[in-house]
Chain A
Amino acid sequence: MISPGRVAIYAALTLFSLLFLLPFIWQLGTSLKTPAEIATGTFTLFPAEPQWENYAEVFRRAPIATWFFNSAFIAIVGTIGATLTSAFCAYGFAVLHARGSRLAFGMVLLTILVPYQVLIIPEYIVWAKLGLINTPLPILLPWFLGGGAFNIFLLRQFMLGLPRDMVDAARVDGANELHIFARIILPMCAPALAIVAVFHFIYMWNDFLRPLLYLPDPSAMTLPVGLSGFVSKFARQWHLLLAGSVVALAPLLIVFALAQRVIARGISITGVRR
């Protein structure tokens, strides 16, 4: 038996899902229309005849391939750095006892509360003085030093939930902490590492302020920064602007589709935290 209440729930859920999804479908459809078809202002989702040429034109008129490569390089290297270093630090906080551990962990949490925007002026000055603008170092290095407070937090929580017996047994056998970290804890953390990696990749792919500051040269730009220039460059050429944003969204949609389970699990873990 399906009650009217349940029908209402499904109807509401479907309606809201469409509200969230429709813009994307419409964006994809419009990116394949001719300017003339867009200008007619009909509500059609899909083009009369798909204009794949729009994409070719975007690639011709802007170095999208370069930007795409830059984005991929920064997102991948940054994700590796953040995942490994945050696991490394989390091991210290979760497994090892020391005076000052609580204080240091308090510092980790404190960094969540300081908006990055307030740090950019001195940071930018130092990187500029070092002549490292238009290199990926200013963006990548911080992720190799700590790996982000959220990531440390999540991995620490996960490690605290692991059985300690194996660590103690390994210590009795004379294994040192590096060995225990690399051979015992890290493999057991694989599910949590996947969560951190997926979320961090998404974060880095979307990151805007840092690449905008540190990679202003068109040959060094990332895709979001390049795309932000489209807004004025292709002000009235919606088909090109939207084709460009489809290219920028594609890797995220692919990661999203492939890593759905990881993402769902990640949200339930992060949501439980206090």
Chain B
Amino acid sequence: MQRVDEGAGRLGRFRSLFAPLPVLQRVEERWFWFFIAPFVVGFLLFALAPLIASFALSFMEWNLRGTPTIVGLDNYADLADLDGKGKIVLKAFSNTVMITVIAVPMQLIIGLAFAMLLNQKVKGMALFRMAFYLPTVVAGVATAALWRWILGSEGLVNRALEIVGVAGPAWFNEPESVRWGIIFMLIWAGTGGMTLIFLAGLQQISKDILEACECDGAGRFRRFFSITLPLLSPTLFFNLVIGLIGGLSLFTETYVVSGGGGGPANESMSVALLIYRLLIRNLDFGFGSAVAWLLTAIVLLLTIVNFRLSKRWVFYDN
């Protein structure tokens, strides 16, 4: 600790406790907090406070009209009651996980393959790049509506299937196919964004290493698995983490496809849609908060596991 005022006696020493930094630094610190003040306020009001409030709400019962009553662990007991209230929660989680676990790896694999294609010094690359990225830019209600039509009972896909003699389902109206329709939609919409991030990662890899490797007689596959993939692992990791969080918070697509109901037979109910319905339709704030906290816990746990595991396979060259 530095003294501000050397030899100023007792008062000076007392002061130095509260002014441990040189004046200039102190001023800079004040400016720092001034500049990040909007974030701090936003973080407290719109992240930390709701997070704590929903934790508190998960131990209460409330429907906006009366006063909240504390019910202890009742909501969590309801979650575990798989024949009662917990049934739909389990369904929502298993749907969401199934969709995420299939869609995200597909997005990663296809995205990487496309990025490798685009990285081949192709003429008109900018044009292809934009074509691949367009579905990601417009992903939302309008494209979900488009897919509802393409995968409708008389839609494009089924007409194509008809030609080869297969009668396709009304994808979004039948319990067996609705999730596959959503997965299809997510792959179409999400791959482009990942492609471009992979491409940016690929372009960071120095050509020298790959050429040196080629001179040493390494084949195409050897080069990909021994050089490209390890060097690309941070990008892969980034896409994986963001993709998983996005997948687990799936909402818009299921809402549009099912008209907000999560049907047919709850087969397209996602966790986020369930939380929305518990809030808006059922006004079941306590139980909804318990579901929300379960989702938070799972997302955070998954991210921690991901970061832990990443030490084994993600290679940072700096």
Question: Which residues of A are at the interface with B, using a C-beta cutoff of 8 A?
Answer: 6, 9-10, 12-13, 16-17, 20-21, 23-24, 26-27, 30, 39, 41, 43, 85, 88-89, 91-93, 96-99, 101, 104, 107-108, 111-125, 128, 142, 144-147, 152, 177, 181, 202, 205-209, 212-213, 224-225, 227-228, 230-232, 238, 241-242, 244-246, 248-249, 252-253, 256, 260, 263-264, 267-268, 270-274
Contact partner, B293, options A39, A118, A207, A212, Cβ 8 Å: A118
Does A177 contact B35, Cβ atoms closer than 8 Å? yes
A9–B280 Cα gap in the complex (Å)? 50
Q: Is the interface of A mostly helix, strand, loop or mixed?
A: helix
Given contacts A26-B156, A97-B25, whether A115 and B249 have CB atoms under 8 Å apart is yes
Output the residue of B46, B57, B188, B316 with the most chain A CB within 10 A.
B46
Nearest CB in chain A: distance from B181 CB, A: 14
Does B120 interact with chain A (Cβ within 8 Å)?
A: yes
B contact residues around A241 at 8 Å (CB):
145, 148-149
Contact partner, B29, options A98, A116, A242, A273, Cβ 8 Å: A98
Nearest CB in chain B: distance from A267 CB, A: 4
A contact residues around B183 at 8 Å (CB):
none
Q: Nearest B residue to A119 by beta-carbon distance?
A: B50
Nearest CB in chain A: distance from B179 CB, A: 18
Does B131 contact A20, Cβ atoms closer than 8 Å? yes
Q: Which residues B266-318 have CB closer than 8 A to chain A?
A: 271-272, 275-276, 278-280, 285, 288-289, 292-293, 295-296, 299-300, 303, 316
B contact residues around A123 at 8 Å (CB):
46, 50
Does B140 contact A224, Cβ atoms closer than 8 Å? yes
A120–B54 Cα gap in the complex (Å)? 9
Output the residue of A20, A41, A125 with the most chain B CB within 10 A.
A20
Nearest CB in chain B: distance from A128 CB, A: 7
Does B197 contact A270, Cβ atoms closer than 8 Å? yes
7 cross-chain pairs, A with B, having the tightest CB-CB distances, nearest first: A271-B200, A145-B42, A92-B35, A146-B42, A206-B140, A122-B53, A98-B32
A270–B137 Cα gap in the complex (Å)? 15
Given contacts A17-B131, A267-B200, whether A114 and B145 have CB atoms under 8 Å apart is no
Does B199 interact with chain A (Cβ within 8 Å)?
A: yes
Known: A120-B50, A271-B235. 20 other contacts (CB 8 A): A9-B117, A13-B118, A16-B132, A26-B150, A89-B36, A92-B32, A104-B39, A115-B295, A117-B272, A122-B57, A142-B46, A145-B38, A228-B256, A241-B149, A248-B142, A249-B142, A260-B130, A263-B137, A267-B200, A274-B238
